[in-house]
Amino acid sequence: MFTAACADQLASPHGPAGQPCPARPWVCLMCPLAVFLPRDAPNLLRLRAFFRRQFRQMPSDQFMRVFGPYADHLDAEILPRFGEHTLLEAAAEVADDDQEIPLRPEESTR
C-alpha cells in the first residue's frame, strides 16, 4: 500500500472481494480499512504535494470535485494525528515530483 497500511486488502469496499484493492492512492485517505502509521508520513506528504500540483494545473471547481474531499481529509484529519517531529523528518524525504507516486500517465502533473 502506498498511502497507508490496509486492515484487509482483499476485502476492499472499492473492488471485488478476494482481489487486491484497485483504488487509487488518494482513495485510501477516506477508506475505513486504512491504518495510518508514522512510517506512512512521507507518502502522505508526497500525496499532499501531488494535490498541490494538481490544484495549480486544474480549474479549481474540477480539483474540488476530483481531489477536494481527499485533500481536505488529509490536511484536517490525518496529518494532525502525527507529531511535528514525525512530519519534519518525513518532509525531508519528499522531493515533490510525480516520480514519487504510483500514477497513471493521465494523472501526471507535467
CA–CA separation, 15 and 21 (whole Å)? 6
> Which one is predicted more confidently, 76 or 107?
76
Instruction: Specify the 3-state DSSP secondary structure of 32.
Output: coil
Q: Give the model's confidence band at 1: pLDDT under 50 very low, under 70 low, under 90 confident, else very high.
A: low
> How much is the pTM?
0.91
The predicted-structure confidence for 6-16, as pLDDT tens digits, reads as follows: 899 888 898 89
Instruction: Specify the 3-state DSSP secondary structure of 6.
Output: strand
The predicted-structure confidence for 21-78, as pLDDT tens digits, reads as follows: 888 999 999 999 999 999 999 999 999 999 999 999 999 999 999 999 999 999 999 9
